[in-house]
Amino acid sequence: MKTAAIISSLVASASAFAPVSQTNVRSSTSIQAWKDENIIGITAPAGFFDPLGLSSGKSDEVMNLYREAELKHGRVAMAACLGWYITAAGVHPAFNSSLSSDPLEAAKQLPVVGWLQFVLGCGAIEWLFQQIKGPPPV
């Protein structure tokens, strides 16, 4: 019984990496391409989920920009959560661990120069990314 469970879990996890057949692929340059059921991120029960209508009248280039921003913001949020947990655990890689273990209190204790470094560093990364990517679509 135990080996059958292990084998079935291995088969199930291996199927996650199997290529998806793209038999019903439609090529379109309008917003209809974003309503295709084969696009990444569309779930089976909800389908194309846009309750606020943010995608209505938008081109594919703008929708790609929205998707890129959504992924970037999600990654920043995950990094922020990781930083929160590390700080709450009492680990401070900078400032010789002299900041508080409470993340909100540590943010208050951070010198202005530290905040300036943070803001300018994030701005430099964004600027560099935009320079590499090219001008945004109009």
Report residue 65 CA to chain centroid gap: 13
Neighbours of 99 (CB within 10 A): 19
User: What is the model's pLDDT at position 124?
Assistant: 94
Q: Is this model's pTM higher than 0.95 or not?
A: no
Confidence bin at 62 (pLDDT 50/70/90): confident
27 pLDDT more than 50:
no
Confidence bin at 120 (pLDDT 50/70/90): very high
**Of 36-40, 42-46, 68-72, where does mean pLDDT reach its minimum?**
36-40
112 pLDDT more than 80:
yes
b/e string for 9-34 if b means 16 or more Cβ within 10 A? eeeeeeeeeeeeeeeeeeeeeebeeb
Confidence bin at 34 (pLDDT 50/70/90): low
Phi then psi for residue 106, to 5 deg, are -65, -35
d(CA 88, CA 5): 38
117 pLDDT more than 80:
yes
**Of 17-21, 76-80, 91-95, where does mean pLDDT reach its minimum?**
17-21
Name the range with the highest mean pLDDT among 8-12, 17-21, 120-124: 120-124
For residues 24-37, give the mean pLDDT. 51
User: What is the model's pLDDT at position 114?
Assistant: 87
